[in-house]
């Protein structure tokens, strides 16, 4: 059978590879001039630094099968994301941990002392059922830490006050009562030695897969295939006929530096007066390499326009209502599966994207094996 993958990122590559290994004919198209989607990495010609072209991507997961999968196509080396933040003229560690608390309040508390201090002296215990991002933060860390580390950054990142954002954005308790400054908590964490584009090239390296870059998809292209797996914007597939779903986009101010600019991979700027949210220094994402020069990005967040790259789905009340209408259209669309971050209008980490791609491919292959009639395979957003 013949399948079309729209998008040469993780979703299209993983699903395409699963099908190709079962003898099916796969065509992958992408409007960009490279594979890898927003995970695309490339060597800077002047410094030799591996640059995360669309912003940093750090692989972390508890899914052992997904970890084994990516290690089939790349040599992953250990990497732990240790984020710093500049606030009120000092540099602190994130996520908020015991070192952050002691430094911020000028104390030397032990874990149990810090827990009592935060929960009894700082946290706003009058908030029993947090409904907004602001209430969630105030309930767990109190006003001082909220305003130093969360408020300004969130306003810049999302373009609205934290009181307008749902509490679910802060799903976990945003504080640790130990000195663990590893940003993530998953069992498996690392970076591909030669970058994500090289890894995705390995996934696509199969005789049954044809990749066509600089190729813009239109729906008529699907007529010559048995099924289409679409990882572009959900509303874009329907030519935005119901309106555009809201996204935040990112602008990167790239600059180079002769030496080590900030001493870490990620430096957040929590104060609203600083126009950018963070600076990333890309050579620190590959600590096993040595480079004299450095490539850095100042990162600015704003509302996405029609010609911008969509990064973060907003998913507030208005967007969820419009999403429901597009979901109804998608469920009626024959022989198309909507996958990935854009196709399902969700923010997805890389490991979840791969997991869903593997599960989608296997479900579809089971349908083929059972010779059941084709039906819409819309992957509904959560």
382 confidence band (pLDDT: 50, 70, 90): very low
Residue of 167, 92, 90 whose CA lies nearest to 136: 167
Query: 381 pLDDT exceeds 60?
Result: no
**Is pTM, for the whole model, over 0.85?**
yes
CATH fold of 97-169, please?
protoporphyrinogen ix oxidase, domain 3 (1.10.3110)
HSE toward the beta carbon, residue 8, CA cutoff 13 A: 30
Average pLDDT, integer, range 42-68? 98
Q: Is the pLDDT of residue 179 over 70?
A: yes
pLDDT at 162: 93
> 349 an active-site residue?
yes
**Confidence check: pLDDT of 362 > 90:** yes
| pLDDT value of position 380 | 53
pLDDT tens digits for range 68-88: 999 999 999 999 999 999 999
* Known catalytic membership, residue 299: yes
Residue 176 confidence (pLDDT) above 50: yes
Helix axes 98-105, 133-145, angle to 10 degrees: 50
Active site residue 355: no
Q: Residue 139: in which H helix or E strand, if any?
A: helix 133-145
Measured in residues, the chain has a length of: 382
Q: Give pLDDT, residue 90.
A: 96
The top-level CATH class assigned to 2-77+190-242+316-369 is: alpha beta
276 is catalytic: no
Q: Could you tell me the pLDDT band of residue 372, with boundaries at 50, 70 and 90?
A: low
3-state SS assignment for residue 72? helix
What pLDDT, on the 0 to 100 scale, is given for residue 172?
A: 63
Helices vs strands, H then E, count in the chain: 11, 17
Average pLDDT, the chain: 94
| Active-site pick, 62, 331, 347, 362 | 347
Instruction: Pick the more confident residue, 287 or 171.
Output: 287
pLDDT confidence band for 378 (50 / 70 / 90): low
- pLDDT for the residue numbered 375: 56
Residue of 193, 226, 325, 349 marked catalytic:
349
pLDDT at 178: 97
Sheet with 247-258, edge to edge strand ranges:
90-94, 83-87, 266-269, 278-281, 293-303, 247-258, 312-313
Sequence-separated (6 or more) residues with CB below 8 Å from residue 306 = 244
Catalytic residue among 299, 326, 355, 378: 299
Catalytic option among 17, 176, 315, 355: 176
Q: What is the pLDDT of residues 187-242, one digit of tens each?
A: 999 999 999 999 999 999 999 999 999 999 999 999 999 999 999 999 999 999 99
What is the structure's pLDDT at 166? Answer: 86
Mean pLDDT of the 83-95 span = 96
Q: What are phi and psi of 325, to 5 degrees?
A: -70, -40
- The arithmetic mean of pLDDT across residues 310-318, rounded, is 88
What tens digit of pLDDT does each residue of 133-161 get? 999 999 999 999 999 999 999 999 999 99
pLDDT at position 376, please?
A: 56
Q: Which of 17, 139, 278, 355 is catalytic?
A: 278
pLDDT at 302 over 50: yes
Encode pLDDT of 99-117 as tens digits. Answer: 999 999 999 999 999 999 9
Percent of the chain at pLDDT above 90? 89
Which residue's structure tokens are 């999968």?
A: 69
CA atoms within 13 A on the CB side of 208: 19
| Mean pLDDT on 16-20 | 98
Q: What was the pLDDT predicted at 170?
A: 78
Q: Above 60 in pLDDT, residue 290?
A: yes
pLDDT mean over 8-23? 97
- Residue 373's pLDDT is 59
Q: Token match 């989607």: residue?
A: 37
Active site residue 278: yes
Q: pLDDT (tens digit, 9 = 90+) per residue, 321-338?
A: 999 999 999 999 999 999
Q: Are strands 278-281 and 266-269 parallel, antiparallel or unpaired?
A: antiparallel
167 falls in which pLDDT band (50, 70, 90)?
confident
Q: What is the pLDDT of residue 377?
A: 57
Domains 2-77+190-242+316-369 and 97-169 share a fold: no
**What residue ranges do the domains of the chain occupy?**
2-77+190-242+316-369, 97-169
Question: What mean pLDDT comes out for the span 25-49?
Answer: 98
Q: State the catalytic residue, choosing from 248, 308, 311, 312.
A: 248
Do 199 and 18 form a contact (C-beta atoms < 8 A)? no
In the block, residue with structure tokens 């005789």: 207
pLDDT number for residue 212: 98
């Amino acid at each position: 059978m013949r399948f079309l993958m729209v998008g040469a990122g993780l979703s299209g590559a993983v699903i395409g590879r699963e099908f190709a290994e079962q003898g099916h004919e796969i065509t992958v198209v992408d409007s960009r001039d490279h594979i890898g989607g927003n995970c695309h990495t490339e060597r800077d010609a002047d410094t030799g630094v591996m640059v995360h072209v669309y912003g940093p991507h750090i692989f972390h997961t508890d899914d052992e099968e997904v970890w084994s999968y990516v290690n089939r196509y790349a040599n992953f080396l250990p990497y732990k994301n240790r984020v710093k933040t500049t606030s009120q003229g000092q540099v602190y560690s994130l996520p908020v941990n015991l070192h952050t608390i002691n430094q911020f309040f000028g104390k030397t508390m032990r874990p149990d002392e810090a827990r009592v201090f935060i929960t009894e002296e700082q946290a706003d215990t009058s908030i029993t059922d947090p409904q907004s991002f602001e209430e969630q933060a105030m309930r767990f860390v109190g006003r001082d830490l909220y305003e130093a580390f969360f408020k300004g950054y969130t306003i810049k990142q999302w373009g609205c006050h934290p009181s307008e954002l749902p509490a679910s954005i802060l799903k976990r308790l945003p504080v640790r009562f130990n000195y663990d400054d590893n940003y993530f908590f998953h069992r498996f964490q690392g970076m591909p030695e030669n970058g994500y584009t090289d890894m995705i090239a390995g996934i696509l390296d199969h005789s049954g897969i044809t990749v066509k870059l600089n190729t813009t998809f239109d729906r008529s292209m699907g007529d010559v295939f048995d099924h289409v797996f679409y990882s572009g914007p959900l509303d874009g597939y329907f030519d935005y006929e119901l309106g555009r779903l809201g996204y935040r986009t990112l602008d990167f101010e790239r600059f180079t530096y002769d030496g080590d600019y900030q001493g870490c991979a990620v430096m957040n700027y929590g104060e609203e007066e600083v126009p950018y949210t963070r600076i990333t220094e890309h050579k620190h994402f590959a600590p096993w390499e040595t480079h004299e020069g450095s490539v850095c990005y100042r990162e600015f967040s704003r509302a996405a326009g029609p010609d911008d790259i969509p990064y973060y789905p907003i998913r507030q009340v208005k967007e969820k209502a419009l999403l429901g209408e597009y979901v109804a259209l998608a469920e009626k669309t024959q022989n198309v599966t909507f996958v990935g971050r854009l196709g399902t209008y969700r923010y997805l980490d890389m490991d979840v994207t791969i997991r869903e791609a593997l599960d989608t491919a296997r479900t579809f292959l089971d349908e083929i094996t059972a010779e059941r009639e084709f039906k819409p395979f819309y992957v509904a957003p959560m």
